[in-house]
Amino acid sequence: ASRVDHEYDYLFKIVLIGDSGVGKTNILSRFTRNEFCLESKSTIGVEFATRTLEERYRAITSAYYRGAVGALLVYDITKRPTFDNLQRWLRELREHADSNIVLMMAGNKSDLNHLRAVSEQDGQSLAEKEGLSFLETSALESYNIEESFKSVLTDIYRIVS
């Protein structure tokens, strides 16, 4: 049985996007053990979306974002390119997602501080420039995962209520 069978007052679709390997699947599995009512899509769609610059994936991309009211943009603090690619992900979001979508940026794998390639300050600066909320997270250590979703959900709830 899925969470969709449970009773709830609101059901929000939130998508996780970001390069392959940044930790989307683990963030989601960590989070869904909590008691939130949330319809979530598998990251198989996201990984397709990683290559959305190819025209044939366009339809999948649109379907993936359709109805989404929140998005978690994830990068890996140990892999600079996953951070640099956030600009591309943002462009795609602005092209395909609802213009009122609530965005949150997550610098994942904060437990790997010794391998860090993106400073927290760089993350913060980009988030401020783009007007996004930002947290560093660790799916491994269960650090700031709940807080990230709560932040997105609180912002959404404020808009719909």
Residues at the interface with ligand GDP (CB under 6 A): 20-26, 43, 108-109, 111-112, 138-140
What distance in Å separates the CA atoms of residue 51 and residue 49, rounded to the nearest whole number?
A: 5
Whole-number minimum distance, CB 161 to ligand GDP, in Å? 31
Please identify, using beta-carbon distances, which residue of 40 and 108 lies nearer to ligand GDP: 108
Please identify, using beta-carbon distances, which residue of 69 and 106 lies nearer to ligand GDP: 106
Whole-number minimum distance, CB 119 to ligand GDP, in Å? 17
Instruction: Find the distance separating the first CA and the last CA of the chain, reported in whole Å.
Output: 28
Helix (H, G, I), strand (E, B) or coil at 40: strand
Whole-number minimum distance, CB 33 to ligand GDP, in Å? 15
- The closest residue (CB) to ligand GDP is 23
What distance in Å separates the CA atoms of residue 27 and residue 144, rounded to the nearest whole number?
A: 10
Residue pair 105/86 in contact by the 8 Å Cβ criterion: yes
Please identify, using beta-carbon distances, which residue of 115 and 159 lies nearer to ligand GDP: 115
Residue pair 159/100 in contact by the 8 Å Cβ criterion: yes
